[in-house]
Amino acid sequence: MSFHLLLKSFELSPIESVFSRYNFHRQNLGKDKMDIEFSGYHHRAAYLHAVYVAYRPTLRMFASRAFFAIALASLYLAYQLNLAPDRTLPLLAPARLPWHILALVIFLLLLAEPFLAPIYVAIRLWRDPSVHVEWRGRVNYRGITFSASGRNILWDSFRGMILEPDGIILKTGAAGFLSLPREFFHSDSDWQRFCNLAEKKVRSNAVPGKRSNIRK
C-alpha cells in the first residue's frame, strides 16, 4: 500500500477503510498474476543469431544498395569505354584487367556490406560482460523490468518485433534491440502469454500508413 493511500484511509470510516484496502490489494493481486517471470543465460550461437537477425538488411535496403552498385558499375563501364587513357585497347585486354578486378571487388563489397556488418556487430556485442550474466525479470502490461538493475523498459519504447521459433527480438529503433529467448520462460504457457502480449503492445506502436512492424 502506498503512503499516500495509507494517509487517505485514515479519513474514511472503519468499514470504508476495510473495503478500500480490500479493493487495493485485489487490484494489485490481479496485476501480480499478469506478471510473466523470466530468467536465463544467453548462449553464444543463439545470441549471435539474434543480433544478426536484428541488424540484417531488409529487402528494401538491399534493393537500394543493389541499385547504387549497378549505377556505379554503369559509370565505370562508361568511363572505361570513353574516357580511360587506355580506351584504345580492347576492354578485356590484360593491361586493363587489374582495374576491372579492383572494380569488381568494390562492387561486391558494396553488396555484401549490409550482410557483413551485422556479423561484426554480433561479435562485438557478445564481448560485453553484461550479456553473460543471468538475465532475470518480469513482463507485464506496462513493460519489461529487469530484477538486478531495476531497469524498466516500457512497451512504448519498442518500434518493432521479430518473432522466431526460439525467441523474440524487440527493436527499440534503428540500432537498439532486446532479445529474449524462449528458454528464458518457465513454461510454454508463459511463453505464449508473452508472445501474445508483445505482439499486441508492439502492434499498437505502429505508425499509421506504414507497413507492419512485426516480422515472423
The ranges assigned to domains in the chain are 54-120
Residue the block writes with cell 523498459: 153
| Adjacent-strand bridge partners of 180 | 168
Is-contact 38 139, C-beta < 8 A? yes
Sign of the C-alpha dihedral, residues 110, 111, 117, 120? negative
- Is the pLDDT confidence value at 22 over 50? no
| Adjacent-strand bridge partners of 137 | 38, 146
Q: In angstroms, what CA-CA distances link 67 with 64, 70, 111, 118? A: 5, 5, 10, 21
- Per-residue model confidence (pLDDT) at position 206: 58
Report the chain's mean pLDDT, rounded to a whole number. Answer: 81
More confident residue, 4 or 83: 83
* Total-model pTM: 0.68
What kind and span of H or E run contains 8? helix 3-9
